[in-house]
Amino acid sequence: MKKNILVIPGDGIGQEVTQWGKAALAQIAKNYGHEFTFDEALMGHAAIEVTGNPLPEETLEKARKSDAILFGAIGHAMYDNDPSLKVRPEQGLLKIRKELGLYANLRPILLFDELLEASSIKAHILKGTDILFFRELTGDVYFGEKKRSEDRNTASDLMIYHRYEVERIAHKAFQAAQQRSKRLCSVDKANVLESSRLWRETVQEIAKQYPDVETEHMFIDNAAMQLIKNPKKFDVVLTANLFGDILTDEASQIAGSMGMLASASVGDGVGFYEPIHGSAHDIAGKNLANPLASILSAALMLEISFGLPEEAKALVSAVDQALKDGYRTGDIADQNTEASKILGTQEMGQLVLKYLAQ
């Protein structure tokens, strides 16, 4: 199979981890006789520094021409501490999602048995958890009108949804539920928010087309609590942009660390694959970042964009093997981890490649 992959490392640890997702894809191509070609492009602070634009036109053009995109993360401390800066890294990410029509963000909460102890939740509550989140990506408060009063003392962000936006992601989530355990939980705040009432009404309508899927509706506050109390309760979770942003970070603790969770953003065109974490300034440039989420993002690309489940499984197995052999990066190590098995970004990346090559 011939594929053209665009790599956008972005900022901070994005640069450090993405090289391993890319290297894993190259090794898979070698193992299975595929021809993957790689191009690279700028986004975020790295792009602002060079071009003044967080999403240069050249990056967008390359993205449109590619078969899939492997992304790292964007962000820099200078923007976090100065909200008044007008040109910001996250504008690049929001814009590319909008331009490529990436309306569904899929976040599998894949739990490796070896990491049960790395989570802050008790192992017996976690064991057997397997959740697939569908987070809507192009609507909600992120894109609604933003206002600030003249005296700067009042502000608002419009939470807006259109029926078609809910319908298209609901179809994707119901179809996934049909392939899994046929259970779907839609999360909203329909007791308070009008946009959530539209969300619930639309999901109820779509549900009629999938009578084999058992559909439940849950309020976001309850869902946030249930996710910790009894994560096995959930299978496919469908939710809006803001609620999904928060719930999936919460769910990352089920998997032990942000450094373990991959995501796929898809629409009707090219797919965009990225770890769920940000650019992590606190550990950037120190060889401390966990590269496994980037490698698992590459696995999602193989499965979803290229339809190569066997190759995807080989990547997940190589990660699993590294964990089974006791190797950890700092974020997933616990008191039982031997000091000699705590690896840096580079060493963990190399180890997974070694297992892949075997």
Is there binding between residue 283 and ligand NAD (CB under 6 A)? yes
Site map 145..174 versus ligand NAD, x via CB under 6 A: ------------------------------
Q: Which stretch binds ligand NAD (CB under 6 A): 47-55, 150-158, 199-207, 282-290?
A: 282-290
Closest CA to 45 of 7, 85, 84: 85
Q: Which stretch binds ligand NAD (CB under 6 A): 71-79, 101-109, 115-123, 334-342?
A: 71-79
Is there binding between residue 73 and ligand NAD (CB under 6 A)? yes
Q: Which stretch binds ligand NAD (CB under 6 A): 22-30, 72-80, 186-194, 195-203?
A: 72-80
Q: How many CA atoms does the CB half-sphere of 266 hold within 13 Å? A: 20
Q: Show contacts with ligand NAD in window 323-342 (CB under 6 A).
A: 331
Is there binding between residue 266 and ligand NAD (CB under 6 A)? no
**C-beta separation of 108 from 236 below 8 A:** no
Least distance between ligand NAD and beta carbon 211 (Å): 36
Measure CA of the first residue to CA of the last residue in the chain; give whole Å.
21
Distance CA 68, CA 74 (A): 18
Q: Which stretch binds ligand NAD (CB under 6 A): 24-32, 57-65, 184-192, 275-283?
A: 275-283
Q: Show contacts with ligand NAD in window 239-258 (CB under 6 A).
A: 258
Residue 189 is a catalytic residue: yes
Distance CA 352, CA 354 (A): 5
Is there binding between residue 277 and ligand NAD (CB under 6 A)? yes
Distance CA 234, CA 252 (A): 14
Closest CA to 254 of 322, 184, 332: 332
Q: Which is nearer to ligand NAD, 18 or 239 (CB)?
A: 18
Residue 11 is a catalytic residue: no
Q: Show contacts with ligand NAD in window 289-318 (CB under 6 A).
A: 289-290, 293
Looking at the chain, which runs of residues are DSSP E strands? Answer: 2-10, 35-40, 68-73, 104-110, 130-136, 146-148, 155-157, 183-188, 214-219, 236-239, 262-266, 271-275, 328-329, 342-343
Least distance between ligand NAD and beta carbon 71 (Å): 8
Amino acid in position 166: V
For strands 236-239 and 35-40, give the pairing.
unpaired
User: Binding ligand NAD by CB under 6 A: which of 56, 75, 231, 349?
Assistant: 75
Helix (H) or strand (E) holding 294: helix 292-304
Q: Which stretch binds ligand NAD (CB under 6 A): 68-76, 126-134, 208-216, 235-243?
A: 68-76
> DSSP class of residue 118?
G
User: Binding ligand NAD by CB under 6 A: which of 282, 310, 334, 338?
Assistant: 282
Residue 245 is a catalytic residue: yes
Helices 292-304/345-357 angle, 10° precision? 40
Closest CA to 96 of 248, 260, 247, 273: 273
Q: Which is nearer to ligand NAD, 40 or 80 (CB)?
A: 80
User: Binding ligand NAD by CB under 6 A: which of 24, 46, 93, 351?
Assistant: 93
Amino acid in position 203: V
Is there binding between residue 137 and ligand NAD (CB under 6 A)? no
**Tokens coding 282:** 């606190």
Catalytic one among 79, 142, 210, 273?
142
Least distance between ligand NAD and beta carbon 37 (Å): 25
Distance CA 241, CA 57 (A): 26
User: Binding ligand NAD by CB under 6 A: which of 259, 267, 271, 349?
Assistant: 259
Q: Please identify every residue annotated as catalytic.
A: 142, 189, 221, 245, 249
Which stretches of the chain bind ligand NAD, using CB under 6 A? 13, 17, 73-75, 80, 90, 93, 258-259, 277-283, 289-290, 293, 331
